A = this chain, B = another copy of it.
Amino acid sequence: MFLADLPTPALVVDTAALGHNLASMAAALPGARLRPHVKAHKCTKLAALQARHGHHGFTCATPREMVGLAAAGLGDDLLLANESLDPARLRRLAELDARVTIAVDSNETIEAAAKAGLRAVLIDVEVGLPRCGCAAEDAARLADLARRSGLQVRGVMGYEGHAVGLDDRQRRSDETGHAMQKLLAAHAEVGGEMISAGGTGTFDLNPWATEIQAGSYALMDTAYGRLGLPFLPALFVLATVVSASKTWTVADCGLKSLGMDHGNPRIEGSSIWFCSDEHTTFAADEGRAPPRVGDRIRVWPAHVDPTIAYHESLHLLDGERIVEVWPIDLRGW
């Protein structure tokens, strides 16, 4: 199938850009130095490609991502970098034919993990982002509690999410350093071989972590695109112009095909007016010919993760040809 024949809206992956991104990251953080976060793409086929680039451990945000990776034979070393108190889902994880480690940050999450029959945990430490993670001072106590509950404590994790998106590289680096000092202090008390942290924005600014949990680097988005990272935009929503007035143009993708928390998407040579459920209204920049009804355009999402979660498939583009269709099979919880 050719790009011109694809029903729209559709998520399209530029295979050349994807290949560049995977190779660049594998060169910078080879093998187990990277634990790719699958929440960004939710696609076992893409995870399998990351494994072929040498990364055999994966980071997940949901139990369903863990279950799906294990079922796809990618269960060498799965980390649920998130807290869960769901007894049935935790039991399901304990029964997987996979090496499973989960994050804990409280008495309750440790108790739930032990009760479900899970074997290994990381102590999740808050390092500056107000989200999950225990206070660094509490990490040693929780590690003791976990060990007394029969759990192996493989180390610590702490996500510097307040740093990964900072425009200024020096500030990004400084904030990462501060965050990792907290994490290292906790690790000194907790022990274990793992110090798991980081993201696409800090992949080369975090030498303290033993492994980096980057996900967005594979497909990228316009928010990460501003940071000057060595990764290429590889994901766009293909849309069709369905209406045009003298002043504006309307494409058939909107709030239900684009994550909107980072703001509007981009269309080259245009300014976006607004998105509604199934439409994006935009206007061509001065001096540019506006696209016409029936034209195909590329709409670049601002945030890859919540964009992916709306779609059923990734369409892999090589030149003008769709060479493969990959199910986005890790959606939901």
Contact = CB atoms under 8 A, between A and B. Distances in A.
B293 A7 contact: no
A185 B131 CA distance: 55
Interface in A243-296: 243-248, 250, 252, 255-256, 259-261, 273, 275-279, 281, 293-294
Contacts of A260: 259-261, 306
B240 A130 contact: no
B85 A242 contact: yes
A89 B242 CA distance: 14
A160 interface: no
A130 B39 contact: no
A296 to B, nearest CB: 10
B277 A83 contact: no
A240 B85 contact: yes
Interface stretch (A16-24, A46-54, A103-111, A319-327): A103-111
Nearest to A37: B277
Contact of A130 (B256, B259, B273, B312): B273
B243 A132 contact: yes
A269 B255 CA distance: 28
Interface in A20-79: 39, 61-62
A167 interface: no
A131 B244 CA distance: 8
A172 interface: no
A133 interface: yes
Nearest to A283: B130
Contacts of A9: 333
A309 interface: yes
B293 A108 contact: yes
Interface of A: 7-9, 39, 61-62, 82-86, 88-89, 105-106, 108-109, 126, 130-133, 135, 161, 240, 242-248, 250, 252, 255-256, 259-261, 273, 275-279, 281, 293-294, 303, 305-306, 309-310, 312, 332-333
Given A82-B252, A82-B278, 13 more contacts: A8-B333, A61-B278, A83-B242, A86-B240, A105-B243, A131-B250, A131-B279, A132-B242, A132-B250, A135-B246, A255-B306, A260-B260, A310-B310
